[in-house]
Amino acid sequence: MERVPDLLTALRGLIAVAIASLGFAGRGALETVVLLTLLGWTSDILDGRLARRYKKEATWIGEREFFFDMVMVFGGLCYLVMAGFVPVAAAAIYVAIAAAFIAYFRSKSVTMSFAFPLVTLPLVFAYFNAPRAAWMFVIWIALALLFDWRRFRGVVLEFIENARAAQKR
C-alpha cells in the first residue's frame, strides 16, 4: 500500500501521454480529454492524501510529484494544439515566455501562475464544444473543494509564500 501514492503520481504521466495522443483524434475527443484530466487531478488529490497518511520518506517519484503535475498540464496543451483549439504560434509563444520566466525566477509559484490558465483551458473549450464535459468538470471542482478544502487552502498559501520569496529576488 505504501507504493500506491507513487503509482498514482506515475499514472498522471501516462494520462498526460494519452491526453496528448488524443490530439490525433481531433476536437471530437474533447469529452474524453476532460474525463482523463479529471482522473489525473483526482489521482493528484489521492496521492497526496495517501502519502501523508503513510508518512513515509519521499521516493524518487514522490520528489518529482510537481513535475508530473506539469506534465499533465503540458499534455493538455498538446491536445488542444493538435486538435486545433489553440493556434500553434500562440502556444509556442506562451510556452517560450513561461519557460523564460520559470528559468529566471526558479519559483514554483511562477510555474503555477503559467500553468493555471492551461489547466482551465479544457473547461473553457468544453463549455463551448462539449457542455456535458464542462458540467462534469464544474461538478468535479465543487466536490474537490468540498472534500479537500484544507489542501486547496494549503496550496494557495504555499503559492503566496513562494510568490513573496520570488519577489524578494
Q: Residue 75 has what pLDDT?
A: 98
pLDDT in tens, 13-30: 999 999 999 999 999 999
Q: Which of 95-99, 129-133, 147-151, 162-166 has the lowest mean pLDDT?
A: 162-166
pLDDT in tens, 39-84: 999 999 999 888 888 877 788 998 999 999 999 999 999 999 999 9
With 90 as the cut, is the pLDDT of residue 139 above it? Answer: yes
Cβ pair 19, 83 in contact under 8 A? no
CATH code of the domain containing 161: 1.20.120
pLDDT in tens, 82-134: 999 999 999 999 999 999 999 999 988 999 999 999 999 999 999 999 999 99
Q: How far apart are CA 24 and CA 167, in angstroms?
A: 41
Cβ pair 109, 162 in contact under 8 A? yes
Q: Residue 169 has what pLDDT?
A: 67
Q: What are phi and psi of 157, to 5 degrees?
A: -65, -40
DSSP state of 58: P
Structural domain span for residue 74: 4-167
Q: Residue 158 has what pLDDT?
A: 87
CA angle 71, 73, 75 (to 5 degrees): 65
pTM equals 0.91
* Domain total in the chain: 1
Cβ pair 2, 55 in contact under 8 A? no
Q: Report CA torsion sign: 120, 49, 148, 144.
A: positive
Q: How far apart are CA 151 and CA 154, in angstroms?
A: 5
